[in-house]
Amino acid sequence: MKAKYIIGAVIIISFIVWAGISFNKTLTPYVTFEQAKASETTVQVKGKRIDTGKFDMQHNVFVFTMMDEAGEKIEVVYDGAKPGNFEQATEIVCVGQYADGKFHAKELLVKCPSKYMEESSNL
């Protein structure tokens, strides 16, 4: 009977610890490119696109230039498909890491000022 409570407590405590570690490790703070360069972990940078980007056929990645809120311009390499509404984007959020003069994005969130998109998706 004791064993039940001990095991239960072990599960709960180790889970809380594990969740805390996971949370801290995967938390991606909002930063500028300046801060991203210094950071070793995954971060998010918000900014505006400068060009329409192009598909790099050598490495099969999508490359574009972004200016962050502090006005710094950096080339972003995205390991995925060019977002379908990239041309219309007013604001872009890149999730990833800075390395070798480029920002390597794992995720791109694109925001558009579309007249149709007011609260359209809520499923």
Partner 1 sequence: MIAGITATSLAFICLIISIVSYYLHYRNRTKESLLLGRYAFYCSTGLIFFQAALLMWGILTHQFHWQYVFSYSSRDLSTFYLISTFWGGQEGTFLLWLVLGAIYGIILIRKKFDEEPLIMSFMSLVLAFITMILIKKSPFTYVWDLNPARFEAGMVPIDGNGLNPLLQDPWMIIHPPVLFTGYSATMILFAFAMTALVTRKHDGWIRTVFPFAIFVVLALGTGIILGGYWAYTTLGWGGYWGWDPVENSSFIPWMSSIAFLHGAIIQRRHGGLKRTNIFLALLTFVLVLYGSFLTRSGILSDFSVHSFSESILTDYLTAFVVLFIALSLIAYIYGTKNIMTVRVSEKFFTRETFMLFGILALLLSSIFTFFGTSAPLITGIFADKPSDVSIEYYKMLNAPVAILIGLFIAISPILSWRRENQAKILKYHYHLLITIIIGILAFMFGLRDPLPLIIFILFVFVIAVNGEIVFRMIKRRNLDFGGYFSHVGIGFMLIGIITSSSYATNTRITLPLNSPQQVLTYEMNYRGFRTGADGKDEAVIQVTGDGKTPWEAAPKFYWSEFNQAFMRNPSVHNLWLKDLYISPIQVIPPEPDNTGDPVTLTKSNPVYFETYRLIFDGYEMRDHSHTANTIEVFAVVQVSEGGTLSTIRPGIKVSGQQKQLIPAYLPGTERALMIQDINIDEDKITILVDNIIDQEEDRREMLAVEVTEKPLINVLWLGTIVMISGISISLINRSRFKPF
Q: How far is the CB of 81 from partner 1 (least distance, A)?
A: 4
Residue 13 in the binding site for partner 1 (CB under 8 A): no
For the range 65-72, what are the long-range contacts, defined as Cβ-Cβ under 8 Å and sequence gap of 24 or more?
Answer: 66/92, 66/94, 66/103, 68/32, 68/33, 69/32, 70/32, 70/33, 70/34, 72/32, 72/33, 72/34
8 binds partner 1 (CB under 8 A): yes
Shortest CB 91 distance to partner 1, Å: 9
For the window 51-80, what string marks contact with partner 1 as x by the rule CB under 8 A? ----x-x--x-x-----------------x
